Amino acid sequence: LKQAKNETERRLLLKQIGEVVKERLKYPASDEMDADMKRLKYVRYADDFLIGVIGSKEDCIKIKEDIKQFMADKLKLELSDEKTLITNARKHAKFLGYDVFVRKSNDTHRDKNGHLTRSLDHKIVLYVTTEVMRKKLLEYDAVKITVQKGKEVWKPKGRTYMRCLDDLEIISQYNSEIMGFYNFYSIANNSPVIDSFYNIMEYSMYKTYAAKYSTSKKKIIAKYKKNGVFAIPYTNKRGYEFKREFYDKGFKRKELPNRYLDDKLPNTVAITGGRNGLIKRLQARVCENCGATDNLEMHHVRKLKDLKGKSDWEIKMISRNRKTLAVCSVCHHKIHAGKLD
C-alpha cells in the first residue's frame, strides 16, 4: 500500500487484499482430524447424557463401546444401542428438548480491533423446534391441528375445563405456562421463534374467556385489551384495585442465565381448585411461584391485608385468599430478603 502511486491504485490493492482475506477465511486454521488435538466434552442431566468428540467416527464408536462396558460392569446397567446414537456434529442431535448441532458458517464480521473474522463457524447451537412447541401446545390442549392440502394448520383452542376458574386464575395460569416454557428455552439461539407458541396460547386464552362468558373472542378482547395490553382487573382485600397483565415482554435470548435460573423442564402448577390442602400442595413438588420442581418450603403470612399486592407472589396469595404459598428454597429466601418481584 505504501508503494501505491495514487488513490485509485491504493483502492484497487485494498480490494484485492480484502478478497484474499475472505478466501483465506473459508478454510480452517487447523486440521480438525489432528490426532494430537482430540477432545471430549461430557454433560449429563439425570439419565440423559451427551458427549461431544473432536475426533473421528472410529473414536466415537470406541468411546461408545467403552461406556457400554463401564455401565455393564460398574453400574449393572444396559446401554440401549437404539437410543444411544452417533451423530455428525453438523446434524441435529436431541438433548433435553433442544436440537444441538455445530454451526457451519462462512459469514464474517469485524472484531473490536477491526480485523475480519469468521466467529460463527464451529459454534455449538441450541434450537427449540416446532415439534417441541407442538407437543407442549397439545399437552395444554390449547391447539387444534388439522391437515389441509398436505400441510398442518394450527388453530388456537379454548380450554373449556378452565371455565370454573376465576378470571385472575385463568390469566395467571396462561402466564405461568408461557413463562415456564420461555425460561427453559431462553438460552436457545432461535428463542424468538417461541413467539409462535405465544400467539397460539394468547388466542387460546381469549377463547377460554369467551367460552366462560358465552360470548365472542372479539368482545373479550374489546373489553379487556386497552392500548395493546390485555389485563384482568381485580380488587384486593383492602379495597385497592390492581390489574394482572398478560405476558408481553418478548422472547429475547438469555446469554448468561443467572445461577438461580438453572435449566428446569417447564412443569407449571395446574390451578384446578382441587389441590388446596397443604400436604397435597407440598407433595406436588412444584414451586407455586416459579414452577421449579424441587423440595418445597411453606411461606406464611399473618394477615392477607398486610400484603401490598405489588409483587407477583403477593398477588397470587391475595387472589387465592391464602395465607400460605408453597415455594422452592430459592424463592423463599428471596421473599424474606425482599428481592422477589
DSSP string for 158-197: --GGGTTS-HHHHHHHHHHHHHHHHHHHTTSTTGGGHHHH
Grid coordinates representing 79 are 446401554
CA distance 197 to 201: 6
Q: Residue 194's closest CA among 89, 266, 261?
A: 266
Q: Are the beta carbons of 89 and 101 closer than 8 angstroms?
A: yes
pLDDT at 275: 41
Grid coordinates representing 5 are 502511486
Q: Per-residue pLDDT for the chain (341 aa), expressed as one digit of tens each? A: 677 778 887 788 778 777 777 776 666 666 566 667 788 888 888 888 899 888 888 999 999 999 999 999 988 889 888 888 898 888 888 988 899 988 776 566 666 776 666 555 668 889 999 999 999 999 999 999 999 989 999 999 999 888 888 898 899 999 999 999 999 999 999 999 999 999 999 999 999 999 999 999 999 999 999 999 999 998 877 788 888 999 999 999 887 545 444 445 555 545 444 444 555 665 667 888 887 776 778 888 877 777 777 788 888 877 777 778 888 888 888 888 777 77
Q: Grid coordinates 484485492 are at which residue?
A: 16
Q: Are the beta carbons of 97 and 185 closer than 8 angstroms?
A: yes
pLDDT at 268: 53
Instruction: Let me know the angle formed at the C-alpha of 194 by 191 and 200, rounded to the nearest 5 degrees.
Output: 175
Q: What are phi and psi of 125, to 5 degrees?
A: -120, 135
pLDDT at 274: 44
Grid coordinates representing 317 are 396469595
Q: Residue ranges of the domains in the chain?
A: 87-127, 158-261, 269-341
CA distance 340 to 316: 13
pLDDT at 128: 94
Q: Give Cβ neighbours of residue 232 (< 8 Å, ≥ 6 apart).
A: 167, 168, 170, 171, 224, 243, 244
pLDDT at 320: 72
Give the full edge-to-edge strand order of the sheet including 225-226.
225-226, 229-235, 241-245
Instruction: Please name the residue ranges forming H helices in the chain.
Output: 7-24, 57-70, 130-139, 167-185, 194-212, 217-224, 278-283, 312-320, 329-337
Q: Residue 314's closest CA among 295, 301, 329?
A: 301
Bridge partner residues of 124 (DSSP): 102
Between helices 194-212 and 167-185, what is the axis angle to 10°? 170
Instruction: Let me know the angle formed at the C-alpha of 112 by 107 and 117, rounded to the nearest 5 degrees.
Output: 25
Grid coordinates representing 167 are 378470571
CA distance 78 to 149: 45
CA distance 146 to 154: 7
pLDDT at 194: 96
